[in-house]
Amino acid sequence: MALITEPHLEAPDPFYEALIDSHKDLAEAESHALNARLVLLLANHIGRHDVLLEALQAARAAAR
């Protein structure tokens, strides 16, 4: 299984809205902690080490 990089979300706009709402009224540190927990939950759901490494590399490349 390779990392899916094409648009694949079932409902991207509602998800984005829910993501933004989940950060409402959080301090910066709490918001960062929420993001970290979300990443770990999704990584656990994916489970595949090779796919997770590919995602890390893609995210890092996009940050530059």
Q: Is residue 6 part of a domain?
A: no
| DSSP letter for each residue of 1-64 | -PPP-S---SSHHHHHHHHHHHTTT--HHHHHHHHHHHHHHHHHHH--HHHHHHHHHHHHHHH-
pLDDT greater than 80 at residue 15 = yes
User: Could you tell me what percent of the chain has a pLDDT over 90?
Assistant: 97
Q: Is residue 20 part of a domain?
A: no
Instruction: Write down the pLDDT at residue 42.
Output: 97
How many domains, the chain? 1
Whole-number average pLDDT of the chain: 96
| Stated pTM of the model | 0.88
The residue range of the domain holding 39 is 28-64
Q: Is residue 13 part of a domain?
A: no
Q: What b/e readout covers 17-45, taking b as 16+ CB neighbours within 10 angstroms?
A: eeeeeeeeeeeeeeeeeeeeeeeeeeeee
**What are the tens digits of pLDDT across the range 24-63?**
999 999 999 999 999 999 999 999 999 999 999 999 999 9
